[in-house]
Amino acid sequence: MSEKIIIGKEEWCGLSELGLPAVKARIDSGAKTSSLHAFNITPFIEDGLKYVHFDIHPLQDNRKVIQSCRGLVVGRRDVKSSSGEKERRHVIKTPITMGGETWEIEVTLTNRDSMGYRMLFGREAMKERVLIDPDASFCLGEVSREALEKYYTREHTKKNGLSIALLASNPELYSNKRIMEAGEERGHNMRFVNIRQCYMNISASTPEVHYRGGEVLNGVDAVIPRIKPAMTFYGCSIARQFETVGSYCLNDSISIAQSRDKLRSLQLLSTHSIPMPVTGFANSPVDTTNIIEMVGGAPLVVKLLEGTQGKGVVLAETNKAAESVINAFKSLQANILVQEFIKEANGRDIRCFVIDGKVVGSIQRQAAEGDFRANLHLGGKASSVLITPEERRIAIKAAKTMGLKVAGVDLIRASSGPKVLEINSSPGLQGIEDTTGKDIAGLMIEAIEKSFRNRQKAKR
Ligand code: ADP
């Protein structure tokens, strides 16, 4: 064996098989296991072998550079972080290069952003090849900025980057900020387009989308519509105009419009045999008693068709109360649904975040004390949850039935099985990202990229 390499408490190393020519690592003989700060960690099987796909920001403090990697999985390991929390991680095997020498090491993948250094080099990986000088840094040399730029240049991604418009109302919302950030990280030209400031030319010869001061927005590759309920009509018209001029809409205008109509959504779900609570709808007060009977009597839930975030949802505990509530709503000419109350859910529901036919994350929401509505806006608390294969299948089918590429499917666990409550075409990102630690915004951008790759393939 060659002489030992002397290294300091931080060093640059190369993980060439992962496409990472230079990564700054903290050297810590106090830690047994080495780890890489990765995100979007997705295992898959190829030719009978287990692999994992993950993304990494190879440069510390720079979230704009992103590298997609894949590694061979050699196991799972429970690792205690410096904060004492236990976490089950994937372990991959990969060669490392340091001071001109290369050897195989095992690295665990974790998505704790608190790590700072992109890599932690632990004692197991040292394999008697290194000697540590704990007072020194970069004994093997620094890597220049120019070299890093060359390694991780964004030019190739920029050239291939798409022009993506986020069609929404409030750029300050967490979800909107994250979508902008995720697109930029992946080298796309992101643009926040305020729905209200769009107008259009709908003539047959030159359909156009115009923006404030007269700019024409016809060259946009893809649009991510995040239309708030109060803007449904105008927002969908603008999305439709973008479709007319050839932009790809992640969630098309027709699917958004139909998912906003609760009754239409439930009717669609029912034609596709997707389970939901027994639901009644009527226009005339004459039918009130009948409707109450139809859903099995009180307690029952009355829902305003136009309500959102749980605001138009009322629990009627007795038939008398149900009758009064229904008739009161009707006298205000409000359209309502009457639904069996799923008592056994105990104020809990499940939000499944579906992107491109996959459930990419799910959370359970628990209603605040004394409420039966689990909406986070009403003080509901989110926690992680493992969904059953049946729940996964129903969530995927529901999103597909509505034609939504991105959907928040709300399920409730009834004693007779999971039932769909509602499908949201602009599901919020904060609760799900905070609870699952996943880069959901990034997965939305990936869905656009995938659809463009497929289009190109089809063209070829
Ligand atoms: P919104 O669109 O206003 O959020 P939902 O139909 O999703 O309306 O209802 C809000 C919340 O009320 C749900 O998340 C769920 O916790 C609770 N809820 C709704 N319908 C029922 C029901 N039939 N039985 C029990 N709880 C319900």
> What pLDDT band is residue 115 in, cutting at 50, 70 and 90?
low
Last residue of a domain, one of 156, 189, 214: 156
- 396 Cα to the center of ligand 1, angstroms: 19
Q: Which domain holds residue 70?
A: 5-156
349, 337: one domain:
no
401 CB-near residues (< 8 Å, 6+ apart): 268, 269, 272, 274
The atom of ligand 1 lying closest to the CA of 307 is: 3
Strand, helix or coil for residue 211: strand
pLDDT for the residue 114: 60
pTM (predicted TM-score): 0.69
- Give the residue with greater pLDDT, 120 vs 16: 120
110: domain CATH number? 2.40.70.10
Strands 222-225 and 248-249 turn out to be parallel
Q: How many domains does the chain have?
A: 4
131, 172: one domain:
no
pLDDT at 284 over 70: no
- Average pLDDT rounded to a whole number, residues 425-445: 96
Last residue of a domain, one of 111, 134, 156: 156
127, 222: one domain:
no
- 442 Cα to the center of ligand 1, angstroms: 29
217 CB-near residues (< 8 Å, 6+ apart): 165, 193, 198, 208, 209, 210, 211, 242
> What pLDDT band is residue 153 in, cutting at 50, 70 and 90?
low
359, 304: one domain:
no
422 CB-near residues (< 8 Å, 6+ apart): 262, 265, 409, 410
Give pLDDT tens digits for 122-139: 999 988 889 999 999 999
pLDDT for the residue 157: 42
- Give the residue with greater pLDDT, 182 vs 152: 182
- 421 Cα to the center of ligand 1, angstroms: 6
Strand partners, 54: 69
For residue 299, whether the previous peptide bond is cis, meaning omega lies within 30 degrees of 0, is: yes
27, 138: one domain:
yes
**Residue at 388 is within a domain:** yes
- 28 Cα to the center of ligand 1, angstroms: 50
CA distances from 199 to 211, 215, 398 (A): 6, 10, 33
pLDDT at 156 over 50: no
Concatenating the DSSP letter of every residue in 258-285 gives HHH-HHHHHHHHHHTT-----EEE-SSG
Q: Which among 276, 313, 350, 419 is the best mutation to test ligand 1's pocket, defined by most ligand atoms within 8 Å of the CB?
A: 313
232, 326: one domain:
no
End-to-end, the C-alpha distance of the chain in Å comes to: 52
pLDDT for the residue 332: 86
Nearest CA to ligand 1 atom 22: 341
18, 150: one domain:
yes
Nearest CA to ligand 1 atom 13: 373
87: exposed, middle or buried (Cβ count in 10 Å: 0-12, 13-18, 19+): middle
Within 6 Å (CB) of ligand 1, which residues are found?
Answer: 277, 301, 303, 307-313, 339-342, 345, 349, 367, 372-375, 410, 412, 421-422
Give pLDDT tens digits for 230-275: 999 999 999 999 999 899 999 999 999 999 998 899 999 999 999 9
Instruction: Provide, for the chain, the percentages of residues in helix, strand and coil under a 3-state DSSP scheme, each rounded to the nearest 5.
Output: 30, 35, 35
321: domain CATH number? 3.30.1490.20
**Residue at 139 is within a domain:** yes
pLDDT at 64 over 70: no
233, 316: one domain:
no
> What pLDDT band is residue 155 in, cutting at 50, 70 and 90?
very low
Last residue of a domain, one of 326, 341, 356: 341
398: domain CATH number? 3.30.470.20
**Residue at 374 is within a domain:** yes
